[in-house]
A and B are shown apart, each in its own frame.
Chain A
Amino acid sequence: QKEVEQNSGPLSVPEGAIASLNCTYSDRGSQSFFWYRQYSGKSPELIMFIYSNGDKEDGRFTAQLNKASQYVSLLIRDSQPSDSATYLCAVNGGRGSTLGRLYFGRGTQLTVWP
């Protein structure tokens, strides 16, 4: 059973703070890691992906990957109320999985208050 675990939250941070979202996964063979943002009543939107160990930065977002520890995180700097959403962690299946198969966590609900 390939699992992706996230804290369901809710995570609440003040505007301007750093929001830190964490995700662990069970399949050591996983190679690709994704963060999706989902606003209430909307579909998931891809915001970051990372394939290599280390950090990847895109604007206010930084994805961090540590394959040895099997965790991936998302940092949101200078959080804004518009960042309030559910953040889904997704992991590409490793060996033995159908190509393209993504495993999703339950999501972490983030609230940024003004």
Chain B
Amino acid sequence: ETGVTQTPRHLVMGMTNKKSLKCEQHLGHNAMYWYKQSAKKPLELMFVYNFKEQTENNSVPSRFSPECPNSSHLFLHLHTLQPEDSALYLCASSQDGHKTPEAFFGQGTRLTVV
């Protein structure tokens, strides 16, 4: 079983829907991340949380809203998305953001916006 679990694995949503992606890590890590992976593009960092505090919002549109209630859980709330937001959304965690930045990824949520 992976140390980082994401649900759902697949999601199809309309442009007017509201949905949430969930990530849970069982590794005792203190940093969590959201990445977006689109075809033919490098992994794009979206949000970083260190010890539950958001430390980076990488110019992400407001239709994506992260939430980190504790160091083990991370959510990405989605609303009024566009078709170009269709991608693989990956959650990752690391021990911390400085001394041990090695990131471990969840299995991802394949999102399709119709």
A contact residues vs B (CB 8 Å cutoff): 4, 32, 34, 36, 42-46, 49, 88, 90, 92, 98-107
Complex Cα spacing A40 to B73, Å: 26
Q: Is B48 an interface residue (CB 8 A)?
A: yes
Which residues of A are found within 8 Å of B106, using beta-carbon distances?
43
State whether B105 touches A43 (Cβ < 8 A).
yes
State whether B98 touches A100 (Cβ < 8 A).
yes
Q: Is B45 an interface residue (CB 8 A)?
A: yes
Q: Is B67 an interface residue (CB 8 A)?
A: no
Asked if A102 meets B107 with Cβ closer than 8 Å, knowing A43-B90, A44-B90, the reply is: no
Which residues of A are found within 8 Å of B50, using beta-carbon distances?
99-100
- Among candidates B31, B42, B43, residue contacting A100 with C-beta atoms closer than 8 Å: B31
Asked if A46 meets B103 with Cβ closer than 8 Å, knowing A4-B42, A98-B48, A100-B31, the reply is: yes
B105 (CB) vs chain A CBs: closest residue: A43
State whether A44 touches B56 (Cβ < 8 A).
no
B103 (CB) vs chain A CBs: closest residue: A102
The proximity string for B residues 72-110 relative to A, scoring 1 for CB distances below 8 Å and 0 otherwise, is 000000000000000010100010111001111111100
Q: Is B55 an interface residue (CB 8 A)?
A: yes
State whether B102 touches A46 (Cβ < 8 A).
yes
Shortest C-beta distance, B66 to chain A (Å), equals 14
Which residues of B are found within 8 Å of A98, using beta-carbon distances?
48, 55-56, 97
State whether B105 touches A101 (Cβ < 8 A).
no
State whether A49 touches B102 (Cβ < 8 A).
yes
- Among candidates B41, B42, B48, B107, residue contacting A101 with C-beta atoms closer than 8 Å: B48
B30 (CB) vs chain A CBs: closest residue: A100
Question: What are some 26 contacts across the A-B interface (CB < 8 A)?
Answer: A32-B101, A34-B102, A36-B105, A42-B108, A43-B88, A43-B105, A43-B106, A43-B107, A44-B43, A46-B103, A46-B104, A98-B48, A98-B55, A98-B97, A99-B98, A100-B31, A100-B55, A100-B94, A100-B98, A100-B101, A101-B45, A101-B97, A102-B45, A102-B103, A104-B42, A104-B43
